[in-house]
């Protein structure tokens, strides 16, 4: 059989569809005012997404180099703040949106200060503030910081640099204006040269996503763990990106996308979801405001589809994954035979519970899906526990459906627990499954215990002894008779009373006098307890060969739980009196039975201890 193709990441599949959807978008023009930029292929199109815990998704031309252009401005602004302090920088460059084009020659009346560091005037003034004892030193410091943000050494595209330097008369005019108002202390040529070089740093789309994720991550590059900018300054950088990053489109952008962002005339767009992730898009066709047409469209779709607007509060944290454990760590309340237990211990890792909490927003579900997709080779039954989740964003249902379908096609089954607590989500989930003609793949349980049992049964069917457990067990094969010879068995049999119960019959009631132990020989019983809220909790489910009511043999205390016949049941009942009488004439038989009881109690305690350890980890 050929190896099955892996389950695709639903996030990756989404990005591929997003890319395909907008690849045909041919509106806008490649920038030509810097002659070298005109050589860009208008078809180039890349989308990259980097999370603050270091996962990178890429589709399309994400490794095509292009020049960073204006996206360099917030980075340079951070460095200027670092070098001079906020006050000194604010004395030279304001933080008011200009509502004008990136290359407008707009300085505040009176002071001559550029309105903000995202328009060219403010960016040139900002670059002039970067410290260094020579032009080379300033450039080296600038490149070093950009490289920290990107997590790899970046260099300059010399051709684009020369092309802009030769034709950048408008920027030179701005430089002289700044000099005129003493915003630049010296000749503008030095700052202008550094600005042209800074704009010509060669990056790819992936770099943009990582730079954005570094800003999202408080200045710490999530891939390298290295700091690119002080944590304290990140909010200032993101503030100017929010109000001015998209120039005269900033208001509409904030309204409809809601992410601090920066665009560049080579076609890059960088957007930041603080605390969560960074987005990079690259496509050279620009709209009339100098923003990448596909870049804007992609960000708008991402924000809408995944509810990324940064003013949506509260945001959940990445610790949406409260715990993750497998069926080797915990088990259902169905007591398994030793044979079944051995199988589950061997393959229990193939069913895993992802215990979630908090608000399931996009970054939270992304982190969960990533783990499931990553573990897929070792995983047959992912169990997604939604009981502790407080709210589920609309974007989660389609992503989970995609996982369910992808798993289903590969013989794996996703189980949802507690989906009933989120009726809106469940309805959408069912609709989408039905629309995909996959309704049969819906497996959801209100509680974890039945989900675990279902998963165990599935693993046992796939890996266990054929046919599951036996329907009936003769006395000689019963757990309680282990080690007893034929004569001992005959003695025991003589004092046992066979009893049959119909399905639903309550064999033991809580509070009853405890005066006998029951050897289950056919059928199934469940031990349950009524909770103060009226609901019933299952403590265990037993199969033939197992024993219940054994505490009666210890101290004849009243029954502590109810035992009910799940099916028609047959038992052999051993009364405490009969066992005592047997002990007087055949002490060896009594000792053997007690020893077997002790073993089964020990097995249960060991499993419970293991489970407590798993859950309190």
Chain residues that interact with ligand GLN, rule: CB under 6 A: 69-70, 102-103, 120, 164, 171, 199, 264-265, 290
Annotated catalytic, 281? no
When the beta carbons of 69 and 217 are compared against ligand GLN, the nearer one is: 69
Residue 79 Cβ vs ligand GLN, minimum distance, rounded to whole Å: 17
Closest residue by Cα to residue 18 from 52, 57, 67, 51: 57
When the beta carbons of 120 and 217 are compared against ligand GLN, the nearer one is: 120
Annotated catalytic, 9? no
Q: Which of 73, 92, 262, 412 is flagged as catalytic? A: 73
Give me the helix-helix angle, 205-216 and 135-150, nearest 10°.
Answer: 80
Residue 290 Cβ vs ligand GLN, minimum distance, rounded to whole Å: 5
CA 232 → CA 87, 89, 215, 245, 548, distances in Å? 14, 15, 11, 20, 64
Residue 106 Cβ vs ligand GLN, minimum distance, rounded to whole Å: 14
8 Å CB contact between 80 and 89: yes
When the beta carbons of 287 and 305 are compared against ligand GLN, the nearer one is: 287
Closest residue by Cα to residue 149 from 76, 243, 98, 86: 76
8 Å CB contact between 86 and 235: no
Annotated catalytic, 149? no
Q: Which two tokens stand for residue 303?
A: 């924000």
Look-up of token digits 């708008």 = 300
* Residue 491 burial (CB count, 10 A): 16
Burial of 56 (0-12, 13-18, 19+ CB in 10 A): middle
8 Å CB contact between 459 and 336: no
Q: Which of 70, 292, 326, 526 is flagged as catalytic? A: 70
When the beta carbons of 160 and 330 are compared against ligand GLN, the nearer one is: 160
Q: Which of 57, 77, 247, 518 is flagged as catalytic? A: 247
* Residue 211 burial (CB count, 10 A): 31
The Cα 410–Cα 405 span in angstroms is 9
Residue 440 Cβ vs ligand GLN, minimum distance, rounded to whole Å: 52
Residue 171 Cβ vs ligand GLN, minimum distance, rounded to whole Å: 5
Annotated catalytic, 195? yes
When the beta carbons of 122 and 348 are compared against ligand GLN, the nearer one is: 122
Q: Which two tokens stand for residue 182?
A: 């003493």
Within 8 A by CB and 6+ apart from 485, the residues are none
When the beta carbons of 113 and 194 are compared against ligand GLN, the nearer one is: 194
Q: Which of 14, 57, 195, 354 is flagged as catalytic? A: 195
Annotated catalytic, 239? no
What is the dihedral sign for C-alpha 254, 257, 261, 267? negative
Q: Which two tokens stand for residue 509?
A: 């009631």
When the beta carbons of 172 and 324 are compared against ligand GLN, the nearer one is: 172
Residue 455 Cβ vs ligand GLN, minimum distance, rounded to whole Å: 54
> 547 - beta bridge partners?
519
Distance of CA 29 to the CA centre of its chain: 38
When the beta carbons of 210 and 265 are compared against ligand GLN, the nearer one is: 265
Residue 154 Cβ vs ligand GLN, minimum distance, rounded to whole Å: 16
The Cα 4–Cα 147 span in angstroms is 40
Residue 220 Cβ vs ligand GLN, minimum distance, rounded to whole Å: 26
Closest residue by Cα to residue 371 from 352, 344, 393, 388: 352
Q: Which of 237, 257, 265, 384 is flagged as catalytic? A: 265
Residues taking part in catalysis? 70, 73, 195, 247, 265
């Amino acid at each position: 059989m050929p190896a099955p193709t892996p389950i695709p990441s639903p996030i990756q599949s989404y990005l591929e569809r997003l890319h395909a959807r907008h690849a045909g978008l041919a509106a806008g023009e490649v920038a030509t005012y810097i002659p070298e930029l005109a050589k860009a292929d208008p078809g180039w199109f890349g989308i990259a997404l980097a999370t603050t815990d270091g996962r990178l998704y890429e589709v399309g031309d994400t490794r095509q180099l292009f020049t960073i252009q204006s996206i360099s401005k917030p980075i340079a602004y951070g460095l200027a703040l670092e070098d001079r302090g906020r006050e000194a920088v604010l004395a030279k460059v304001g933080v008011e949106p200009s509502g004008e084009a990136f290359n407008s020659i707009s300085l505040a009346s009176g002071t001559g200060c550029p309105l903000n560091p995202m328009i060219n005037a403010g960016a040139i003034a900002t670059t002039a503030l970067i410290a260094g004892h020579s032009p080379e030193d300033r450039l080296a410091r600038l490149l070093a910081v950009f490289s920290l943000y990107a997590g790899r050494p970046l260099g300059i595209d010399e051709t684009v640099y020369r092309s802009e330097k030769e034709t950048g008369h408008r920027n030179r005019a701005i430089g002289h204006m700044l000099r005129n108002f003493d915003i630049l202390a010296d000749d503008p040529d030095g700052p202008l040269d550094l600005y042209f070089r800074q704009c010509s740093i060669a990056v790819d789309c992936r770099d943009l996503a990582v730079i954005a994720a570094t800003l999202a991550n408080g200045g710490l590059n999530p891939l390298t763990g290295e700091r690119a900018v002080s944590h304290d300054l990140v909010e200032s950088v993101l503030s100017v990106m929010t109000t001015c990053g998209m120039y005269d489109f900033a208001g509409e952008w904030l309204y409809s996308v809601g992410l601090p962002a920066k665009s560049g005339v080579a076609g890059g767009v960088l957007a930041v979801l603080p605390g969560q992730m960074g987005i990079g898009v690259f496509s050279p066709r620009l709209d009339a405001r100098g923003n990448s047409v596909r870049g804007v469209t992609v960000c708008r779709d991402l924000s809408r589809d995944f509810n990324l607007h940064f003013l949506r509060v509260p945001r959940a944290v990445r610790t949406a994954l409260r715990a993750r454990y497998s069926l080797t760590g915990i088990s259902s309340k169905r007591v398994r035979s030793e044979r079944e237990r051995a199988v589950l211990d061997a393959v229990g890792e193939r069913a895993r519970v992802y215990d979630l909490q908090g608000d399931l927003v996009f970054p939270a579900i992304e982190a969960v899906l990533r783990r499931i997709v990553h573990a897929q080779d070792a995983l047959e039954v992912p169990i997604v526990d939604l009981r502790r989740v407080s709210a589920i964003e609309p974007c989660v249902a389609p992503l989970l459906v995609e996982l369910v379908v992808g798993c289903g096609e590969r013989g794996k089954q996703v189980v949802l627990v507690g989906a009933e607590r989120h009726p809106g989500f469940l309805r959408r989930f069912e609709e989408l499954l039905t629309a995909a003609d996959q309704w049969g793949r819906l497996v959801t349980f209100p509680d974890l215990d039945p989900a675990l049992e279902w998963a165990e049964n599935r693993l046992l069917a796939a890996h266990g002894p054929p046919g599951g457990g036996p329907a009936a067990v003769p006395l000689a094969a019963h757990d309680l008779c282990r080690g007893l010879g034929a004569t001992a068995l005959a003695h025991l049999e003589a004092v046992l009373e066979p009893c049959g119960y119909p399905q639903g019959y309550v064999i033991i009631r809580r509070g009853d006098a405890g005066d006998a132990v029951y050897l289950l020989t056919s059928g199934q019983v469940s031990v349950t307890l009524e909770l103060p809220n009226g609901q019933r909790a299952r403590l265990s489910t037993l199969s033939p060969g197992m024993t219940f009511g054994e505490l009666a043999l210890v101290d004849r205390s009243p029954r502590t739980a109810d035992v009910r016949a799940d099916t028609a049941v047959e038992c052999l009942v051993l009364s405490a009196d009969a066992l005592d009488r047997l002990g007087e004439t055949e002490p060896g038989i009594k000792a053997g039975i007690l020893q077997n009881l002790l073993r089964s109690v020990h097995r249960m305690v060991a499993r419970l201890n293991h489970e407590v350890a798993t859950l309190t980890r």
